[in-house]
Amino acid sequence: MSRIHNFSAGPATLPLAVLEEVKAELLDWHGSGMGVMEMSHRDKEFTQIAQDCERDMREVLGIPANYKVLFMQGGATAQFAVVPQNLLRGKTGADFIVNGDWGKKAYKEFANHGKANLAASSEAGKFTDIPALATWKLDPDAAYVHITSNETIHGVEFPDAPDVGKVPLVSDMSSSFASRPFDVSKYGLIYAGAQKNIGPAGLTVVIVRDDLIGQVAPGTFQIHDYKNVADNDSMLNTPPTFSWYVCGLVFKWMKARGGLAAIGEHNARKAKLLYDYLDSQDFYRNPVAKAVRSKMNVPFVLANSELDADFLKGSKAAGLIGLKGHRSVGGMRASIYNAMSQEGVAALVDYMKEFARTRG
Ligand SMILES: *Cc1c(COP(=O)(O)O)cnc(C)c1O
């Protein structure tokens, strides 16, 4: 077996220990005589798997008891519509802070549901910063304020939850979920696709304060009604059982590694290694304002973009894949989620140094 260093933005690298466990249990989960893929979601075996996952996630993230954890499908993209259907609660609009393509997509989708207020945007600066909180044009009557905690394409991350007062804060945390300690109680709702940091594609986690649910807009599909989902333990229909199971193993792995504090330190060390190198020379450049640089997705451009193809070809030969930047920004991007090792980032920096030395 040979494992490469996978810098893909998602689906993305998973912890080797988790994959080994999946492999060992693939044909026979805990003596049940069947694999998790083959189990009915109503079997007691799967019920156990589902409950363990939620328990471990609650423990690792410190999710307060008045928050529901929902296991849904459709990705963060479906949530761009499902959140307004649930959280408008008879109000007319919501505030959007747009500092990247994902936040812009959420903002655009909202227009199908209510009055979308663009409270702040950094698009004029090509999404390389987050507008200062003092400049946000927030509407006190908004149903909620929507942010994207980490913009995966642009590599821009909120250092902390912004204080938006009484209006519930909603965050798309897809690409920074469970990457460092954070205070769930500062949010009304958090959603995240699993495939960046906590498991395979197919599962979407929603964490929502329980007083915000139960007032869906007319016409909302039953399967999208958070209260209905919560009341039925996220099993209104067949859930993505295998992804849910792997997600549970990932949270067990996080616990064994010392929880979010340890994971956060590990991620900060990896990001520092890469940013320190990027800032030490001028062959490569990261364009993002230092205070809001992402610890999960690190975009960088080569001073001479004619070398991009060679850079990618050579990186692949060196066992480093998934480094091509998103088509909307070009250049490169290294996604260094929880499961990316320090050695992986060191190998990338070594490759970058060598490429710059021989081609610069
Ligand atoms: C990947 C990503 C999405 C889209 O997720 P899907 O699961 O493909 O719908 C949305 N928002 C952010 C921040 C992402 O990183």
**Ligand 1 atom 13, closest CA:** 174
Ligand 1 mutation pick, 105, 152, 171, 328, max ligand atoms within 8 A of CB: 152
Element (H, E) at 234: none
Q: Are 196 and 148 in contact (CB under 8 A)?
A: no
**CB of 297 closer than 6 angstroms to any ligand 1 atom:** no
Query: Which of 172, 244, 295, 324 is an active site residue?
Result: 172
Q: Which atom of ligand 1 is nearest to the CA of 175?
A: 15
Q: Which domains does the chain have, with CATH numbers?
A: 16-256 (3.40.640.10), 259-359 (3.90.1150.10)
If you search the block for the tokens 């909202």, which residue do you land on? 110
**CB of 99 closer than 6 angstroms to any ligand 1 atom:** no
Q: With DSSP H G I counted as helix, E B as strand and the rest as coil, what are the percentages for the chain, rounded to 5?
A: 40, 15, 45
pLDDT of residue 2: 83
Question: Tokens representing 55?
Answer: 């328990």
Q: How far apart are CA 156 and CA 176, in angstroms?
A: 11
Rounded percentage of the chain residues whose pLDDT exceeds 90? 98
pLDDT of residue 328: 86
When pLDDT is averaged across residues 26-47 and rounded to a whole number, the result is 97
pTM: 0.98
Confidence tier at 177 by pLDDT (50, 70, 90): very high
Instruction: State pLDDT tens for residues 60-107.
Output: 999 999 999 999 999 999 999 999 999 999 999 999 999 999 999 999
pLDDT of residue 324: 97
Paired strand residues for 6 = 321
Instruction: Tell me if residue 102 is catalytic.
Output: yes
**CB of 155 closer than 6 angstroms to any ligand 1 atom:** no
Instruction: State pLDDT tens for residues 321-350.
Output: 999 999 888 999 999 999 999 999 999 999
Instruction: Tell me if residue 196 is catalytic.
Output: yes
For residue 31, the CA-to-ligand 1 centroid distance in Å is: 36
Q: Are 13 and 337 in contact (CB under 8 A)?
A: yes
**CB of 76 closer than 6 angstroms to any ligand 1 atom:** yes
